[in-house]
Chains A and B, each alone.
Chain A
Amino acid sequence: MAFFYALTGVALFTLGLYALIIYAHLMRKILAINIMGSGVFLVLVALAARTQTVPDPVPHAMVITGIVVAVSATALALALMLRLLEVSGCEELAEEPKE
Protein backbone atom coordinates (compact mmCIF):
# COMPACT_ATOMS: atom_id res chain seq x y z
CA MET A 1 0.00 0.00 0.00
CA ALA A 2 2.82 2.37 0.93
CA PHE A 3 4.36 1.65 -2.44
CA PHE A 4 1.13 2.64 -4.18
CA TYR A 5 1.10 6.00 -2.38
CA ALA A 6 4.74 6.58 -3.25
CA LEU A 7 3.98 5.93 -6.90
CA THR A 8 1.07 8.37 -6.72
CA GLY A 9 3.51 10.90 -5.30
CA VAL A 10 5.87 10.39 -8.23
CA ALA A 11 2.90 10.70 -10.63
CA LEU A 12 1.92 14.03 -9.00
CA PHE A 13 5.52 15.23 -9.28
CA THR A 14 5.61 14.40 -12.99
CA LEU A 15 2.20 15.96 -13.60
CA GLY A 16 3.31 19.15 -11.87
CA LEU A 17 6.53 19.24 -13.88
CA TYR A 18 4.55 18.87 -17.10
CA ALA A 19 2.17 21.69 -16.15
CA LEU A 20 5.06 23.92 -15.07
CA ILE A 21 6.65 23.58 -18.48
CA ILE A 22 3.64 23.93 -20.77
CA TYR A 23 1.49 26.62 -19.13
CA ALA A 24 2.45 30.26 -19.54
CA HIS A 25 0.15 31.77 -16.93
CA LEU A 26 2.05 32.39 -13.70
CA MET A 27 -0.79 31.29 -11.44
CA ARG A 28 -0.76 27.90 -13.16
CA LYS A 29 3.02 27.68 -12.84
CA ILE A 30 2.83 28.43 -9.13
CA LEU A 31 0.11 25.81 -8.68
CA ALA A 32 2.19 23.34 -10.68
CA ILE A 33 5.18 23.86 -8.35
CA ASN A 34 2.89 23.28 -5.37
CA ILE A 35 1.59 20.04 -6.88
CA MET A 36 5.16 18.88 -7.45
CA GLY A 37 5.89 19.69 -3.82
CA SER A 38 2.85 17.73 -2.63
CA GLY A 39 4.08 14.82 -4.73
CA VAL A 40 7.44 14.84 -2.95
CA PHE A 41 5.73 15.09 0.45
CA LEU A 42 3.51 12.14 -0.42
CA VAL A 43 6.57 10.09 -1.36
CA LEU A 44 8.21 10.97 1.96
CA VAL A 45 5.14 10.09 4.04
CA ALA A 46 4.48 6.89 2.09
CA LEU A 47 8.06 5.71 2.48
CA ALA A 48 7.88 6.47 6.21
CA ALA A 49 5.25 3.75 6.55
CA ARG A 50 7.17 1.14 4.58
CA THR A 51 8.28 -1.54 7.04
CA GLN A 52 7.63 -1.09 10.71
CA THR A 53 4.22 -1.16 12.33
CA VAL A 54 4.89 2.32 13.70
CA PRO A 55 5.64 4.87 10.96
CA ASP A 56 9.10 6.45 10.99
CA PRO A 57 8.70 10.00 12.40
CA VAL A 58 11.75 11.54 10.71
CA PRO A 59 10.20 11.90 7.21
CA HIS A 60 7.13 13.42 8.87
CA ALA A 61 9.33 16.06 10.44
CA MET A 62 10.88 16.65 7.02
CA VAL A 63 7.46 17.07 5.44
CA ILE A 64 6.44 19.61 8.07
CA THR A 65 9.60 21.59 7.38
CA GLY A 66 8.96 21.20 3.67
CA ILE A 67 5.43 22.56 4.04
CA VAL A 68 6.72 25.63 5.86
CA VAL A 69 9.17 26.23 3.02
CA ALA A 70 6.47 25.65 0.39
CA VAL A 71 4.08 28.11 2.06
CA SER A 72 6.73 30.84 2.22
CA ALA A 73 7.83 30.22 -1.35
CA THR A 74 4.24 30.33 -2.59
CA ALA A 75 3.59 33.56 -0.71
CA LEU A 76 6.68 35.13 -2.27
CA ALA A 77 5.73 33.88 -5.75
CA LEU A 78 2.19 35.25 -5.43
CA ALA A 79 3.41 38.60 -4.15
CA LEU A 80 5.86 38.87 -7.06
CA MET A 81 3.13 37.88 -9.51
CA LEU A 82 0.77 40.59 -8.22
CA ARG A 83 3.54 43.15 -8.38
CA LEU A 84 4.35 42.16 -11.96
CA LEU A 85 0.66 42.49 -12.82
CA GLU A 86 0.66 45.99 -11.32
CA VAL A 87 3.77 47.07 -13.20
CA SER A 88 3.28 45.42 -16.59
CA GLY A 89 -0.40 44.46 -16.66
CA CYS A 90 0.55 40.94 -17.66
CA GLU A 91 0.46 37.68 -15.69
CA GLU A 92 2.74 35.79 -18.02
CA LEU A 93 6.49 35.81 -18.40
CA ALA A 94 7.89 37.19 -21.62
CA GLU A 95 8.64 34.24 -23.93
CA GLU A 96 12.33 34.97 -24.39
CA PRO A 97 14.32 36.54 -21.58
CA LYS A 98 14.89 40.13 -22.66
CA GLU A 99 18.46 40.80 -23.68
Chain B
Amino acid sequence: MLTMQVQNVPWLVIVITLPLVGSLLCFLLPQQAKKLGLMTAFTIAASLIGLLFQVLDQGAQRYTVGGWDAPLGINLYVDGLSLLLLLMTALVGLGISVYATAYFNRDKTVYYWPLWLLLWSALNALFLSADLFNLYVCLELLGLSAVALVAIAGGADALGAAIRYLLVSLLGSLFYLLGVALIYHSVASVDIIIVAERIDATPPILAAMGLMSAGLLFKTALFPMHFWLPPAHANAPAPVSALLSALVVKASFYILLRLWLDVFPLPQEVLGQFLGLLGAAAVIWGGVQALRQTRLKMLIAYSTVAQIGYLFIAFPLATSIAWKGALYLLLSHALAKSAMFMAAGNILHFGGHDTILKLDRVAQRLPLTVAAFSLAGVSIMGLPPSGGFIGKWLLLNAALQAGEWWWALVLIGGGLLSAGYIFKVVGFAFTQTEASHEVHHVPAAMQWTAFMMALAAILVGLIAPWPLALMDIGLPFEMVVNKGSNG
Protein backbone atom coordinates (compact mmCIF):
# COMPACT_ATOMS: atom_id res chain seq x y z
CA MET B 1 0.00 0.00 0.00
CA LEU B 2 2.70 2.42 1.03
CA THR B 3 4.85 1.49 -1.96
CA MET B 4 1.88 2.14 -4.24
CA GLN B 5 1.60 5.65 -2.85
CA VAL B 6 5.33 6.28 -3.20
CA GLN B 7 5.12 5.14 -6.81
CA ASN B 8 2.38 7.64 -7.62
CA VAL B 9 3.97 10.73 -6.15
CA PRO B 10 4.96 13.18 -8.93
CA TRP B 11 8.64 13.16 -7.96
CA LEU B 12 9.59 15.08 -11.10
CA VAL B 13 7.78 18.14 -9.86
CA ILE B 14 9.02 17.71 -6.31
CA VAL B 15 12.70 17.64 -7.22
CA ILE B 16 12.24 20.99 -8.99
CA THR B 17 10.07 22.73 -6.38
CA LEU B 18 11.96 21.53 -3.28
CA PRO B 19 15.18 23.45 -3.95
CA LEU B 20 13.14 26.45 -5.11
CA VAL B 21 11.17 26.54 -1.86
CA GLY B 22 14.36 25.91 0.10
CA SER B 23 16.02 28.80 -1.67
CA LEU B 24 13.18 31.17 -0.80
CA LEU B 25 13.19 30.02 2.83
CA CYS B 26 16.94 30.57 3.09
CA PHE B 27 16.48 34.03 1.64
CA LEU B 28 13.65 34.91 4.03
CA LEU B 29 15.28 33.43 7.14
CA PRO B 30 18.97 34.29 6.75
CA GLN B 31 19.69 33.38 10.36
CA GLN B 32 18.68 29.78 9.68
CA ALA B 33 20.09 29.64 6.13
CA LYS B 34 22.76 27.05 6.86
CA LYS B 35 20.46 24.66 8.69
CA LEU B 36 17.58 25.08 6.22
CA GLY B 37 19.90 24.71 3.25
CA LEU B 38 21.44 21.51 4.50
CA MET B 39 18.01 20.08 5.30
CA THR B 40 16.79 20.95 1.81
CA ALA B 41 19.83 19.29 0.26
CA PHE B 42 19.16 16.02 2.05
CA THR B 43 15.43 16.16 1.25
CA ILE B 44 16.18 16.64 -2.45
CA ALA B 45 18.49 13.64 -2.39
CA ALA B 46 15.79 11.58 -0.67
CA SER B 47 13.12 12.53 -3.20
CA LEU B 48 15.50 11.66 -6.02
CA ILE B 49 15.66 8.17 -4.60
CA GLY B 50 11.87 8.16 -4.88
CA LEU B 51 12.18 9.19 -8.52
CA LEU B 52 14.85 6.56 -9.08
CA PHE B 53 12.59 3.76 -7.85
CA GLN B 54 9.68 5.11 -9.86
CA VAL B 55 11.75 5.10 -13.05
CA LEU B 56 13.31 1.69 -12.34
CA ASP B 57 9.83 0.33 -11.81
CA GLN B 58 7.87 2.04 -14.57
CA GLY B 59 10.47 3.16 -17.11
CA ALA B 60 10.78 6.66 -18.57
CA GLN B 61 8.18 9.09 -17.22
CA ARG B 62 6.34 11.99 -18.79
CA TYR B 63 4.46 14.51 -16.69
CA THR B 64 2.16 17.24 -17.96
CA VAL B 65 2.34 20.19 -15.59
CA GLY B 66 -1.12 21.29 -14.48
CA GLY B 67 -2.70 18.75 -16.82
CA TRP B 68 -2.00 20.91 -19.91
CA ASP B 69 -0.51 18.80 -22.67
CA ALA B 70 2.27 19.45 -25.15
CA PRO B 71 1.34 22.11 -27.68
CA LEU B 72 0.24 24.60 -25.01
CA GLY B 73 1.40 23.28 -21.67
CA ILE B 74 4.77 22.34 -20.27
CA ASN B 75 5.91 18.73 -20.21
CA LEU B 76 8.49 17.20 -17.96
CA TYR B 77 10.29 14.07 -19.06
CA VAL B 78 12.69 11.76 -17.31
CA ASP B 79 14.63 8.89 -18.84
CA GLY B 80 17.91 7.19 -17.95
CA LEU B 81 19.99 10.04 -19.30
CA SER B 82 18.26 12.77 -17.29
CA LEU B 83 18.05 10.59 -14.20
CA LEU B 84 21.78 9.93 -14.28
CA LEU B 85 22.48 13.67 -14.43
CA LEU B 86 19.97 14.37 -11.66
CA LEU B 87 21.65 11.78 -9.43
CA MET B 88 25.07 13.17 -10.27
CA THR B 89 23.87 16.66 -9.34
CA ALA B 90 22.47 15.39 -6.06
CA LEU B 91 25.62 13.49 -5.14
CA VAL B 92 27.95 16.37 -5.93
CA GLY B 93 25.41 18.82 -4.50
CA LEU B 94 25.29 17.02 -1.17
CA GLY B 95 29.08 16.98 -0.92
CA ILE B 96 29.33 20.65 -1.78
CA SER B 97 26.54 21.53 0.66
CA VAL B 98 28.36 19.88 3.53
CA TYR B 99 31.63 21.48 2.47
CA ALA B 100 30.01 24.92 2.26
CA THR B 101 28.67 24.77 5.82
CA ALA B 102 32.26 24.80 7.04
CA TYR B 103 33.73 27.00 4.30
CA PHE B 104 31.67 30.19 4.39
CA ASN B 105 31.70 32.69 7.22
CA ARG B 106 28.50 34.20 8.54
CA ASP B 107 27.94 37.04 6.03
CA LYS B 108 28.76 34.99 2.95
CA THR B 109 26.52 32.08 4.06
CA VAL B 110 23.50 34.36 3.81
CA TYR B 111 24.15 34.89 0.09
CA TYR B 112 25.42 31.45 -0.70
CA TRP B 113 22.50 29.23 0.27
CA PRO B 114 19.61 30.93 -1.59
CA LEU B 115 21.72 31.18 -4.75
CA TRP B 116 23.02 27.64 -4.59
CA LEU B 117 19.56 26.15 -4.06
CA LEU B 118 18.22 28.29 -6.90
CA LEU B 119 20.99 26.94 -9.08
CA TRP B 120 20.13 23.39 -8.03
CA SER B 121 16.49 24.02 -8.88
CA ALA B 122 17.49 25.34 -12.32
CA LEU B 123 19.69 22.28 -12.93
CA ASN B 124 16.95 19.83 -11.97
CA ALA B 125 14.39 21.68 -14.10
CA LEU B 126 16.81 21.73 -17.01
CA PHE B 127 17.44 17.99 -16.89
CA LEU B 128 13.69 17.35 -16.78
CA SER B 129 12.54 19.83 -19.42
CA ALA B 130 10.95 18.39 -22.52
CA ASP B 131 10.66 21.55 -24.60
CA LEU B 132 13.17 23.85 -26.20
CA PHE B 133 11.87 27.09 -24.74
CA ASN B 134 11.73 25.73 -21.22
CA LEU B 135 15.34 24.71 -21.66
CA TYR B 136 16.15 28.33 -22.54
CA VAL B 137 14.50 29.62 -19.37
CA CYS B 138 16.36 27.05 -17.26
CA LEU B 139 19.64 27.99 -18.93
CA GLU B 140 19.10 31.62 -18.01
CA LEU B 141 18.14 30.80 -14.43
CA LEU B 142 21.23 28.67 -14.17
CA GLY B 143 23.45 31.33 -15.71
CA LEU B 144 22.19 34.14 -13.50
CA SER B 145 22.53 32.19 -10.26
CA ALA B 146 25.98 30.92 -11.27
CA VAL B 147 27.17 34.46 -12.02
CA ALA B 148 25.87 35.75 -8.69
CA LEU B 149 27.69 32.88 -6.93
CA VAL B 150 30.99 33.82 -8.60
CA ALA B 151 30.51 37.41 -7.44
CA ILE B 152 30.12 36.32 -3.78
CA ALA B 153 33.91 36.32 -3.48
CA GLY B 154 33.90 40.14 -3.86
CA GLY B 155 37.19 41.65 -5.02
CA ALA B 156 37.98 43.12 -8.43
CA ASP B 157 39.16 39.83 -9.99
CA ALA B 158 36.06 37.91 -9.00
CA LEU B 159 33.73 40.73 -10.08
CA GLY B 160 35.47 41.08 -13.42
CA ALA B 161 35.26 37.32 -13.94
CA ALA B 162 31.59 37.36 -12.94
CA ILE B 163 30.71 40.09 -15.45
CA ARG B 164 32.63 38.36 -18.22
CA TYR B 165 30.84 35.14 -17.33
CA LEU B 166 27.47 36.91 -17.36
CA LEU B 167 28.07 38.43 -20.81
CA VAL B 168 29.20 35.09 -22.22
CA SER B 169 26.26 33.32 -20.66
CA LEU B 170 23.73 35.83 -22.02
CA LEU B 171 25.34 35.79 -25.46
CA GLY B 172 25.14 31.99 -25.59
CA SER B 173 21.50 32.01 -24.48
CA LEU B 174 20.51 34.61 -27.08
CA PHE B 175 22.04 32.53 -29.88
CA TYR B 176 20.11 29.58 -28.55
CA LEU B 177 16.87 31.60 -28.34
CA LEU B 178 17.19 32.87 -31.90
CA GLY B 179 17.55 29.25 -32.97
CA VAL B 180 14.41 28.33 -31.02
CA ALA B 181 12.54 31.15 -32.78
CA LEU B 182 13.53 29.75 -36.19
CA ILE B 183 12.56 26.21 -35.18
CA TYR B 184 9.20 27.38 -33.89
CA HIS B 185 8.67 29.25 -37.14
CA SER B 186 9.30 26.09 -39.14
CA VAL B 187 7.48 23.44 -37.11
CA ALA B 188 5.07 25.45 -34.92
CA SER B 189 6.09 23.70 -31.71
CA VAL B 190 8.89 23.66 -29.19
CA ASP B 191 8.11 20.27 -27.65
CA ILE B 192 11.11 18.05 -28.35
CA ILE B 193 9.07 15.05 -29.53
CA ILE B 194 6.81 17.07 -31.83
CA VAL B 195 9.78 18.99 -33.21
CA ALA B 196 11.64 15.74 -33.85
CA GLU B 197 8.67 14.39 -35.85
CA ARG B 198 8.23 17.45 -38.03
CA ILE B 199 11.78 18.59 -38.59
CA ASP B 200 13.49 18.56 -42.00
CA ALA B 201 16.84 19.81 -43.15
CA THR B 202 15.49 23.10 -44.57
CA PRO B 203 17.59 26.30 -44.55
CA PRO B 204 15.89 27.87 -41.48
CA ILE B 205 16.34 24.63 -39.53
CA LEU B 206 19.99 24.37 -40.50
CA ALA B 207 20.49 28.00 -39.46
CA ALA B 208 18.74 27.24 -36.17
CA MET B 209 20.98 24.22 -35.62
CA GLY B 210 24.05 26.35 -36.21
CA LEU B 211 22.89 29.10 -33.87
CA MET B 212 21.81 26.77 -31.08
CA SER B 213 24.95 24.66 -31.28
CA ALA B 214 27.18 27.74 -31.30
CA GLY B 215 25.43 29.18 -28.26
CA LEU B 216 25.61 25.91 -26.33
CA LEU B 217 29.24 25.23 -27.27
CA PHE B 218 30.08 28.72 -26.05
CA LYS B 219 28.41 28.00 -22.72
CA THR B 220 30.04 24.57 -22.50
CA ALA B 221 33.41 26.29 -23.08
CA LEU B 222 34.57 24.00 -25.85
CA PHE B 223 37.93 25.07 -27.28
CA PRO B 224 38.42 27.73 -28.73
CA MET B 225 35.48 29.29 -26.85
CA HIS B 226 36.88 28.40 -23.45
CA PHE B 227 38.63 31.71 -22.65
CA TRP B 228 36.03 32.80 -20.11
CA LEU B 229 36.06 29.57 -18.09
CA PRO B 230 39.42 29.54 -16.27
CA PRO B 231 39.12 33.04 -14.70
CA ALA B 232 35.47 32.50 -13.73
CA HIS B 233 36.10 29.07 -12.20
CA ALA B 234 39.39 29.99 -10.55
CA ASN B 235 38.28 33.27 -8.95
CA ALA B 236 35.09 31.92 -7.39
CA PRO B 237 35.00 30.64 -3.79
CA ALA B 238 35.97 26.93 -3.59
CA PRO B 239 32.48 25.41 -3.29
CA VAL B 240 31.32 27.60 -6.19
CA SER B 241 34.30 26.60 -8.35
CA ALA B 242 33.38 23.00 -7.64
CA LEU B 243 29.76 23.62 -8.63
CA LEU B 244 30.65 25.41 -11.83
CA SER B 245 33.17 22.85 -13.04
CA ALA B 246 31.32 19.78 -11.89
CA LEU B 247 27.75 20.70 -12.79
CA VAL B 248 27.08 23.96 -14.58
CA VAL B 249 29.13 23.34 -17.75
CA LYS B 250 27.50 19.90 -17.98
CA ALA B 251 24.04 21.46 -18.27
CA SER B 252 24.66 23.10 -21.64
CA PHE B 253 26.42 19.93 -22.78
CA TYR B 254 23.31 17.96 -21.82
CA ILE B 255 21.09 20.21 -23.96
CA LEU B 256 23.44 19.84 -26.90
CA LEU B 257 23.42 16.08 -26.46
CA ARG B 258 19.62 15.97 -26.32
CA LEU B 259 19.31 18.10 -29.43
CA TRP B 260 21.88 15.99 -31.20
CA LEU B 261 20.22 12.70 -30.25
CA ASP B 262 16.56 13.63 -30.60
CA VAL B 263 16.02 16.80 -32.57
CA PHE B 264 18.55 17.62 -35.23
CA PRO B 265 17.97 15.90 -38.55
CA LEU B 266 21.13 15.63 -40.17
CA PRO B 267 24.03 15.46 -42.25
CA GLN B 268 25.61 14.78 -38.85
CA GLU B 269 28.82 13.17 -40.07
CA VAL B 270 30.72 16.29 -41.07
CA LEU B 271 29.57 18.34 -38.10
CA GLY B 272 30.32 15.42 -35.79
CA GLN B 273 33.88 15.16 -37.08
CA PHE B 274 34.25 18.92 -36.62
CA LEU B 275 33.09 18.75 -32.99
CA GLY B 276 35.40 15.80 -32.41
CA LEU B 277 38.33 17.80 -33.76
CA LEU B 278 37.52 20.74 -31.50
CA GLY B 279 37.26 18.28 -28.61
CA ALA B 280 40.67 16.82 -29.43
CA ALA B 281 42.15 20.32 -29.65
CA ALA B 282 40.59 21.12 -26.26
CA VAL B 283 42.15 18.00 -24.70
CA ILE B 284 45.62 18.94 -25.91
CA TRP B 285 45.38 22.71 -25.42
CA GLY B 286 43.73 22.45 -22.00
CA GLY B 287 46.35 19.93 -20.88
CA VAL B 288 49.27 22.07 -22.07
CA GLN B 289 47.82 25.21 -20.50
CA ALA B 290 47.20 23.36 -17.22
CA LEU B 291 50.86 22.33 -17.16
CA ARG B 292 51.92 25.96 -17.57
CA GLN B 293 49.81 27.38 -14.73
CA THR B 294 51.42 28.64 -11.55
CA ARG B 295 48.24 28.78 -9.48
CA LEU B 296 46.57 25.57 -8.40
CA LYS B 297 43.00 26.73 -9.05
CA MET B 298 43.89 27.92 -12.56
CA LEU B 299 45.50 24.54 -13.22
CA ILE B 300 42.34 22.74 -12.16
CA ALA B 301 40.20 25.08 -14.27
CA TYR B 302 42.30 24.39 -17.39
CA SER B 303 42.01 20.71 -16.61
CA THR B 304 38.24 21.21 -16.91
CA VAL B 305 38.75 22.70 -20.39
CA ALA B 306 40.64 19.52 -21.34
CA GLN B 307 38.09 17.18 -19.79
CA ILE B 308 35.24 18.88 -21.65
CA GLY B 309 37.14 18.06 -24.82
CA TYR B 310 36.83 14.30 -24.17
CA LEU B 311 33.04 14.57 -24.11
CA PHE B 312 33.02 15.80 -27.70
CA ILE B 313 35.02 12.84 -28.97
CA ALA B 314 31.77 10.87 -28.77
CA PHE B 315 30.16 13.05 -31.48
CA PRO B 316 32.08 11.77 -34.51
CA LEU B 317 31.69 8.16 -33.29
CA ALA B 318 28.00 8.55 -32.42
CA THR B 319 27.43 4.98 -31.29
CA SER B 320 25.62 3.97 -28.12
CA ILE B 321 28.88 2.84 -26.54
CA ALA B 322 30.60 6.17 -27.34
CA TRP B 323 27.74 8.17 -25.77
CA LYS B 324 27.90 5.98 -22.69
CA GLY B 325 31.65 6.50 -22.50
CA ALA B 326 31.24 10.26 -22.71
CA LEU B 327 28.52 10.21 -20.05
CA TYR B 328 30.66 8.08 -17.80
CA LEU B 329 33.49 10.56 -18.16
CA LEU B 330 31.06 13.38 -17.46
CA LEU B 331 29.89 11.66 -14.29
CA SER B 332 33.33 10.80 -12.95
CA HIS B 333 34.69 14.21 -13.92
CA ALA B 334 31.93 15.84 -11.88
CA LEU B 335 32.94 13.86 -8.80
CA ALA B 336 36.69 14.14 -9.31
CA LYS B 337 36.70 17.82 -10.22
CA SER B 338 34.55 18.83 -7.27
CA ALA B 339 36.99 16.91 -5.02
CA MET B 340 39.92 18.74 -6.63
CA PHE B 341 38.42 22.18 -6.18
CA MET B 342 37.54 21.36 -2.58
CA ALA B 343 41.11 20.18 -1.98
CA ALA B 344 42.39 23.39 -3.60
CA GLY B 345 40.04 25.35 -1.34
CA ASN B 346 41.51 23.57 1.70
CA ILE B 347 45.07 24.31 0.59
CA LEU B 348 44.17 27.95 -0.08
CA HIS B 349 42.54 28.23 3.33
CA PHE B 350 45.47 26.49 5.02
CA GLY B 351 48.36 28.54 3.66
CA GLY B 352 46.55 31.63 2.37
CA HIS B 353 47.73 31.09 -1.21
CA ASP B 354 47.54 28.50 -3.98
CA THR B 355 50.83 29.10 -5.78
CA ILE B 356 51.99 25.61 -6.72
CA LEU B 357 55.74 26.28 -6.33
CA LYS B 358 55.24 27.56 -2.79
CA LEU B 359 53.22 24.64 -1.47
CA ASP B 360 54.99 23.89 1.79
CA ARG B 361 54.78 20.26 2.96
CA VAL B 362 51.00 20.18 2.61
CA ALA B 363 51.16 16.43 2.10
CA GLN B 364 52.43 15.98 5.66
CA ARG B 365 50.24 18.63 7.19
CA LEU B 366 47.00 18.07 5.24
CA PRO B 367 47.29 14.38 4.38
CA LEU B 368 43.58 13.86 3.80
CA THR B 369 43.38 16.79 1.39
CA VAL B 370 46.37 15.70 -0.64
CA ALA B 371 45.01 12.15 -0.69
CA ALA B 372 41.74 13.56 -2.03
CA PHE B 373 43.58 15.48 -4.73
CA SER B 374 45.60 12.44 -5.76
CA LEU B 375 42.62 10.07 -5.81
CA ALA B 376 40.67 12.57 -7.90
CA GLY B 377 43.77 12.81 -10.09
CA VAL B 378 43.65 9.04 -10.68
CA SER B 379 40.16 9.44 -12.12
CA ILE B 380 41.10 12.51 -14.17
CA MET B 381 44.08 10.65 -15.65
CA GLY B 382 41.79 7.72 -16.38
CA LEU B 383 43.68 5.02 -14.49
CA PRO B 384 41.84 1.87 -13.35
CA PRO B 385 39.73 1.27 -11.34
CA SER B 386 38.37 4.83 -11.41
CA GLY B 387 35.24 6.14 -13.14
CA GLY B 388 37.45 8.07 -15.54
CA PHE B 389 39.01 4.80 -16.65
CA ILE B 390 35.64 3.24 -17.53
CA GLY B 391 34.65 6.30 -19.55
CA LYS B 392 37.90 6.38 -21.48
CA TRP B 393 37.81 2.62 -21.98
CA LEU B 394 34.34 2.82 -23.54
CA LEU B 395 35.38 5.70 -25.77
CA LEU B 396 38.52 3.83 -26.75
CA ASN B 397 36.46 0.78 -27.68
CA ALA B 398 34.05 2.89 -29.69
CA ALA B 399 36.93 4.53 -31.54
CA LEU B 400 38.56 1.20 -32.39
CA GLN B 401 35.25 -0.36 -33.43
CA ALA B 402 34.67 2.53 -35.79
CA GLY B 403 38.19 2.08 -37.12
CA GLU B 404 39.04 5.67 -36.19
CA TRP B 405 42.16 4.98 -34.17
CA TRP B 406 43.31 8.61 -34.10
CA TRP B 407 40.75 9.39 -31.39
CA ALA B 408 42.48 6.74 -29.27
CA LEU B 409 45.72 8.70 -29.62
CA VAL B 410 43.97 11.81 -28.31
CA LEU B 411 42.64 9.86 -25.33
CA ILE B 412 46.09 8.56 -24.49
CA GLY B 413 47.87 11.86 -25.12
CA GLY B 414 45.34 13.68 -22.93
CA GLY B 415 45.88 11.10 -20.19
CA LEU B 416 49.65 11.67 -20.27
CA LEU B 417 49.22 15.45 -20.10
CA SER B 418 46.89 15.16 -17.12
CA ALA B 419 49.37 12.84 -15.40
CA GLY B 420 51.94 15.59 -15.96
CA TYR B 421 50.00 18.35 -14.28
CA ILE B 422 48.71 16.21 -11.44
CA PHE B 423 52.16 14.88 -10.52
CA LYS B 424 53.50 18.42 -10.68
CA VAL B 425 51.08 19.45 -7.92
CA VAL B 426 51.56 16.29 -5.87
CA GLY B 427 55.34 16.63 -6.14
CA PHE B 428 55.37 20.17 -4.76
CA ALA B 429 52.94 19.13 -2.04
CA PHE B 430 55.66 16.98 -0.46
CA THR B 431 58.56 19.38 -0.60
CA GLN B 432 59.51 22.08 1.85
CA THR B 433 59.88 25.73 0.83
CA GLU B 434 62.01 28.36 2.55
CA ALA B 435 59.22 30.87 2.89
CA SER B 436 57.11 29.27 5.55
CA HIS B 437 53.91 31.08 6.27
CA GLU B 438 51.24 31.35 8.87
CA VAL B 439 48.84 28.43 8.64
CA HIS B 440 45.15 28.20 9.42
CA HIS B 441 43.28 25.22 10.74
CA VAL B 442 41.18 23.48 8.07
CA PRO B 443 37.86 22.17 9.48
CA ALA B 444 37.47 18.38 9.37
CA ALA B 445 34.22 18.68 7.38
CA MET B 446 36.09 20.36 4.53
CA GLN B 447 38.83 17.73 4.50
CA TRP B 448 36.50 14.77 4.71
CA THR B 449 34.05 15.94 2.04
CA ALA B 450 36.91 16.48 -0.40
CA PHE B 451 38.14 12.99 0.39
CA MET B 452 34.68 11.42 0.10
CA MET B 453 34.07 13.02 -3.31
CA ALA B 454 37.41 11.73 -4.57
CA LEU B 455 36.63 8.28 -3.20
CA ALA B 456 33.26 8.40 -4.99
CA ALA B 457 35.07 9.19 -8.26
CA ILE B 458 37.06 5.98 -7.81
CA LEU B 459 34.11 3.87 -6.59
CA VAL B 460 31.98 4.87 -9.55
CA GLY B 461 34.43 2.86 -11.62
CA LEU B 462 33.75 -0.26 -9.57
CA ILE B 463 29.97 -0.14 -9.92
CA ALA B 464 30.04 0.46 -13.68
CA PRO B 465 27.22 -1.96 -14.62
CA TRP B 466 24.63 0.02 -12.64
CA PRO B 467 25.07 3.48 -14.16
CA LEU B 468 25.40 1.85 -17.58
CA ALA B 469 22.12 -0.01 -17.12
CA LEU B 470 20.52 3.20 -15.87
CA MET B 471 21.55 5.05 -19.05
CA ASP B 472 19.52 2.58 -21.13
CA ILE B 473 16.18 3.37 -19.49
CA GLY B 474 13.95 4.99 -22.10
CA LEU B 475 16.58 4.25 -24.76
CA PRO B 476 17.93 7.80 -25.12
CA PHE B 477 20.57 6.69 -27.62
CA GLU B 478 18.37 4.56 -29.89
CA MET B 479 17.38 7.38 -32.22
CA VAL B 480 20.96 7.81 -33.32
CA VAL B 481 21.38 4.18 -34.21
CA ASN B 482 18.23 4.30 -36.32
CA LYS B 483 19.21 7.52 -38.00
CA GLY B 484 22.64 6.12 -38.72
CA SER B 485 21.26 2.97 -40.35
CA ASN B 486 18.79 4.96 -42.44
CA GLY B 487 21.65 6.93 -43.84
Report A's interface with B, CB cutoff 8 A.
13, 17, 20, 26, 29, 33, 36-37, 39-40, 43-44, 47, 50, 56, 58-59, 62, 65-66, 69, 72-73, 76-77, 80-81, 83-84, 87-88, 93-94, 97-99
Contacts and interface: CB of A to CB of B under 8 A. Distances in A.
A72 B144 contact: yes
A27 B231 CA distance: 21
Which 7 pairs across A and B sit closest by C-beta, in order of nearness? A97-B231, A88-B156, A47-B185, A84-B159, A69-B140, A44-B181, A87-B156
Nearest to B227: A97
B400 interface: no
A25 to B, nearest CB: 12
A80 B159 contact: yes
Contact of B231 (A59, A84, A88, A98): A98
Interface string B214-258: 000000000000011011000000000000000000000000000
Interface in B304-318: none
Nearest to A73: B170
Interface stretch (B36-44, B46-54, B161-169, B333-341): B161-169
Contacts of A20: 167, 171
A76 B167 CA distance: 11
B154 interface: yes
A46 B144 CA distance: 28
B298 A93 contact: no
B408 interface: no
Contact of A69 (B137, B171, B182, B295): B137
Contacts of B230: 97, 99
Contacts of A80: 147, 151, 159, 162-163, 166
A84 B156 contact: yes
A42 to B, nearest CB: 10
B237 to A, nearest CB: 16
A45 to B, nearest CB: 10
B181 A40 contact: yes
Contacts of A97: 161, 164, 227-228, 230-231
B293 interface: yes
A87 B178 contact: no
Given A77-B166, A84-B163, A66 B184 contact: no
B293 A59 contact: no
B154 A40 contact: no
B174 interface: yes
Given A62-B184, A93-B160, A99-B231, 20 more contacts: A20-B171, A26-B163, A33-B170, A37-B170, A39-B178, A40-B174, A40-B181, A69-B140, A73-B143, A73-B144, A77-B170, A83-B159, A87-B154, A97-B164, A97-B230, A98-B160, A98-B231, A99-B293, A99-B295, A99-B298
Interface in B149-195: 151, 154-157, 159-164, 166-167, 170-171, 174, 177-178, 180-182, 184-185, 188
A95 to B, nearest CB: 11
Nearest to B174: A36
9 contacts: A33-B171, A39-B178, A50-B185, A73-B143, A76-B147, A87-B155, A87-B159, A88-B156, A97-B230
A80 B155 CA distance: 11
B421 interface: no
B116 interface: no
Contacts of A33: 167, 170-171, 174
Contacts of B188: 56
B442 interface: no
Contact of B181 (A43, A73, A94): A43
Contacts of B148: 76
B170 A13 contact: no
Most buried by B among A20, A40, A44, A97: A97
Nearest to A47: B185
A94 B158 CA distance: 12
A84 B133 CA distance: 33
Nearest to B137: A65
B57 to A, nearest CB: 35
A27 B143 CA distance: 20
A59 B181 contact: yes
B140 to A, nearest CB: 5
Contact of B174 (A37, A59, A83): A37
Nearest to B235: A98
Given A40-B177, A76-B148, A97-B230, A81 B167 contact: no
A68 to B, nearest CB: 9
A20 B170 CA distance: 11
A21 to B, nearest CB: 10
